[in-house]
Structure 1
Amino acid sequence: MKGHALILPRFVLEAIPMAFLKEKKQRAKVIDLIIAECKEMDFDGIVLESWSRWAAYGVLHDPHMRNLALKFIKKLGQVMHSVVVNERSLQLVYVIGPPHSDRLHEYDFGPQDLQSLGDAVDGYSLMTYDFSNPQNPGPNAPLKWVHSTMQLLLADGSQKFSHKIFLGINFYGNDYVLKGGGGGGGGGAILGRDYLSLLEKHKPELKWDKKSGEHFFLYSTDGNDQHVVFYPSLLSVEMRLDEARSWGAGISIWEIGQGLDYFFNLL
């Protein structure tokens, strides 16, 4: 029994092979496979990720291929809506990433794409996290960046789709090795249990980064490596929930079991 919850598992389409975008029969075959899986497993739809893969392999740099990609997503949504499982049409949520600068490039998903897909897609999971990385340590999702991402996406008459956007909120954090000591950069994602362990072991002072709207702390290892940890807090999560509300958007959490228990008090 699942009550009123909908189960939409995450499907990933890789960039290779791309023949199915060019050939009608191949596109139909991929769609049929997705529909069959939903029926067999009693799913209510899917969360599809493909745009980031297609962008990484240069597929979306080609205007013709980009157009075929949009046509495939639109056709998939239309076919899914024609299939009824659990007394309702199958749902399609599509994963989209943020732009890589303050302007949209040809491989970015933008407002025209929202309008092109129209009602074929039921929601968009917006990946507004992973702003920083071990090569460029810093906050996970600076609030100003989240805001500017929404501004770019909902420009040019696409504001009417704001209710379909699920603003991404990370429940994980990052522990980065700063240069100096025995370290030379590095680090990566940490979960709630790792965060609590670091607090217990090093008893660091939590600091607030006003510019990004995130808490962080510093600590040193026995080898004298300097670390910086950015991890969500009640205040940072609440500020991002407020941002979503201000746009009339929903939220998507990556991932809900990675955070601290009291995060749920805000939901």
Structure 2
Amino acid sequence: MHSETTLSVVIPTLNEARNIEHVLGLLPDTVDEVILVDGGSTDATVAIARRARPGIRVLGQTRPGKGSALATGILAATGDEIVTIDADGSMDPREIERFVAPLRAGAQYVRGSRFSRGGGSADITAVRFIGNKVLNSLANLLFGTGHSDLCYGFNAMTREAAGALRLPDPADGTRLRHWGDGFEIETLMHVRAVKAGLRVVEVPSFEASRRFGESNLSAVRDGLRCLRTLLFERFVSASVDSVVDAERRARPKVTAELVGEGE
């Protein structure tokens, strides 16, 4: 083992056969565990991933959506530190060490930012840029923060911090079952990290253009879901948290569907 601290990387996928090998090939040697959470790809994503990264863990989702995939992977991760990264090639895995370093210096949750000094994006559209700026400003106002990028999926956290985020339960088919299952998951995670009092650090990151294929993100639809998330977390969630937590404690633990393990 390269160190006493272990590192897991969680990658959600849906039909990323032309991108996944590139992403896996750039992962640093310091990564101990790679978890691919697949949303039912109809191409060769899973087969290519297993070939490119022997030993990769491949999990299936119990519900559709990027948020459900991230929750499934994060809750299944065994590493002391957990990094989330997209499978489309827009995020450079070689930046992972930049995210992990603050954790080893005492941070608990590390946010990637395309808009802090040293960051950038070759992929964001004008509509998404404006929407992100508006939502980010609102988040800073509502939660007293000074962050620069609300809607970005390159993040890192300690395993203890992951528990504090109270992610949507992959095995939960009851009430609020769909909230957090979509692209609003990144907003939800950032806000809950702040609400939990975690030590949050922001690091610059460069977002390249997606290598192949098209994004499933809808600027308007998903932007509205992010807005609802901000308002719900600020004005409503404190009153329902205790009820949801009690339901989770009462429910027997169910593991996420396992699609397969790499050989």
Q: Normalising by structure 2, what TM-score?
A: 0.28
Structure number with the higher strand fraction is: 1
Q: Normalising by structure 1, what TM-score?
A: 0.28
Larger radius of gyration: 1
